[in-house]
Amino acid sequence: MLLLISPINREEALESIEGGADIVDVKNPKEGSLGANFPWVIKEIRELTPEDKLVSATLGDVPYKPGTVSLAAMGAHVSGADYIKVGLYGTKNHDEAVEVMENVVKTVKEISEETIIVAAGYADAHRVGAVEPMEIPKIAKDAGCDLAMLDTAVKDGHTLFDYLDLNQLKEFVDEAHGYGLLTALAGSVKKDQLKPLHDIGCDVVGIRGAACVGGDRNTGKIHHTAVAELKELCDSF
């Protein structure tokens, strides 16, 4: 299981790299759960990240505007992102979500077949009116994505496990794997939740809060010792 750590700037990216993160995920919590950072931040972090590590970029908690989101995807690609994550926030159903994602896939894959396209849904989708979380694997498959992901939309201390139990998460992972997709799970994931996620076959675990000093994704800063502890734990399973 790969460890994805989400820095917001150069300083935090260096801490993530030093701590041994497998994927450096550039985001901006001020703009939401999967808030987008600026192209120059993505570019700077890609340039300082070793070539053997992947850089991920979030496009934001996106609206149902396929053209707008496709242009954002092109911006992330040009800025150097190896993973491009789309938070399906404003899409209400399967068809709307597929329309957004298939246009992102077309935009990026015409230029770079290697770039990994991630359809990200929310375990607490009912709180924001987004597409249901258990529909994400089929959406990702139907749109031609590479990875199906879940996070939480509202960051108020609730975790992924407050909305979906381990059996449901295993069902999510198994369905995605059945379609030939990778999976990622995030949402205020705690250290003691890593082993259960590993055991159900999750490919990537996404973390910010648990890698920050004080454990707060908004007021804390990522520190390499916390990242190293998480990485060591993931490698021990």
Question: Out of 53, 85, 92, 109, which one is annotated catalytic?
Answer: 85
Told to judge if 85 belongs to the known catalytic residues of this protein, a careful annotator would answer yes
With 0-12 / 13-18 / 19 or more C-beta atoms within 10 angstroms meaning exposed / middle / buried, residue 114 is exposed
Residues 6+ apart with CB under 8 A from 155: 29, 33, 188, 217, 218
Told to judge if 155 belongs to the known catalytic residues of this protein, a careful annotator would answer no
Q: How many CB atoms lie within 10 A of CB 141?
A: 18
Question: Out of 27, 141, 155, 231, which one is annotated catalytic?
Answer: 27
**159 within 8 A of 190, measured Cβ to Cβ:** yes
Q: How many CB atoms lie within 10 A of CB 147?
A: 21
With 0-12 / 13-18 / 19 or more C-beta atoms within 10 angstroms meaning exposed / middle / buried, residue 200 is middle
Q: Return the active site residues.
A: 27, 85
